[in-house]
Amino acid sequence: MKITLFGATGLLGRECLSQCLESGHEVTVLLRTPDKLPAELRAQITVVEGNGLDEQAVERSLSADTDGILFVIGVDARSPEDLCTDVTRHILAAMRKLGIRRLVWCGGGNTVGDEDVASFGSWFVGFFSRTFMALRHRDKVHQIALLDESRDVDWVGIRPLQMRKGARRGGYRVGFDRYSGFSQITAADCATEMIRMLEDDTWLHKAPVIQY
């Protein structure tokens, strides 16, 4: 498959990149600072230098023969307001223009949805995020709202809780099961599931939680 990856330098992004290459996929990445990736990795992929907030840069990283997009951009205290939402808006515009169908994006369990099992754990995750991670929380809420309005595109979401370093373990659950702030997943297993979702319509237009 020909895959474009947004957010390749983060923990989950590195895992997605590594596993895509391991599976023989052709990968393009959009990077503001290409040197953040080791030279041996850059030699195996197509690197487009640019910012995801630049609509033209996003379009340069895609083409009509792109099979799928992986979105794993993270947000921290230095990120601009609605970073993920605005980049997603540019990606959706390019997908419509170029005829690309599949987008798999990573959100977070802090955005509680109608299909989630209501529990004290999910309430606490939402409360903690709204209170102590407000920038990230607002962005993810706005991103999901944008995607919900974009049913003409074949998108699938996934929502990890506490993401950790570690090897692929397998045995994880994907769905709208009960969860809490203690629910965990390794970045390796999250990446595995996201890559699998590129060719699976089970969760089309939904964003299930992934956890052990």
pLDDT tens, position by position, 9-62: 999 999 999 999 999 999 999 999 999 999 999 999 999 999 999 999 999 999
> Mean per-residue pLDDT for 112-129?
72
With a threshold of 0.85, does the pTM exceed it? yes
pLDDT of amino acid 76: 84
Q: What pLDDT shows up at residue 78?
A: 87
Q: What is the largest CA-CA distance in the chain?
A: 48
Are 190 and 158 in contact by the 8 Å Cβ rule? The answer is: yes
Answer yes or no: is pLDDT of 121 > 80: no
What is the amino acid identity at position 211?
Answer: Q
Q: Tell me the pLDDT band of 132, cut-offs 50, 70 and 90.
A: low
Q: By three-state DSSP, how is residue 165 classified?
A: coil
What DSSP string describes 162-196?
Answer: EEE--------EEES----TT-EEEHHHHHHHHHH
Average pLDDT over every residue of 164-180: 93
At 118, is the pLDDT very low, low, confident or very high (cuts 50, 70, 90)?
low
Beta-sheet pairing, 26-31 with 162-164: unpaired
Across the range 58-83, mean pLDDT stands at 94
Mean pLDDT over each residue of the chain, to the nearest integer: 92
**Which among 78, 74, 95, 54 is positioned nearest to 13, based on CA atoms?**
74
pLDDT at site 54: 98
Q: What is the pLDDT of residue 110?
A: 72
Look at residue 19 and give its three-state secondary structure.
Answer: helix
**Under 8 Å between Cβ of 106 and 165:** no
Q: Is the pLDDT of residue 127 over 80?
A: no
Q: How far is CA 98 from CA 60, 93, 143, 172, in A?
A: 11, 9, 21, 34
Superfamily of domain 2-211: NAD(P)-binding Rossmann-like Domain (3.40.50.720)
